[in-house]
Amino acid sequence: MPTCRLCFSVYPREQFIHGNGPKAQVCVRCGVEKGMVSEEEVASLYSNSNANARFSALARRWSPLMWLSVLWTAWIVFLNDVEPWSLYTLILLALFSLVVPLYMFFFSSKHMAVMARLTPEYERPPGH
Residues near Zn ion (CB under 5 A) are 4, 6-7, 27, 30
Beta carbons of 25 and 4 less than 8 angstroms apart:
yes
Minimum distance from CB of 75 to Zn ion (Å)? 45
- Residue closer to Zn ion (CB basis): 25 or 89: 25
- Residue closer to Zn ion (CB basis): 10 or 94: 10
Minimum distance from CB of 50 to Zn ion (Å)? 17
Q: Which of 67, 89, 68, 64 has the alpha carbon at shortest distance from 78?
A: 89
Beta carbons of 76 and 69 less than 8 angstroms apart:
no
Beta carbons of 23 and 31 less than 8 angstroms apart:
yes
Residue 122: DSSP 8-state: -
Half-sphere exposure in the Cβ direction for 30 (13 Å, CA):
19
Minimum distance from CB of 30 to Zn ion (Å)? 3
Minimum distance from CB of 6 to Zn ion (Å)? 5
- Residue closer to Zn ion (CB basis): 64 or 120: 120
Phi-psi region of 127 (alpha: psi -120 to 50; beta: other; left: phi over 0): left
- Residue closer to Zn ion (CB basis): 27 or 114: 27
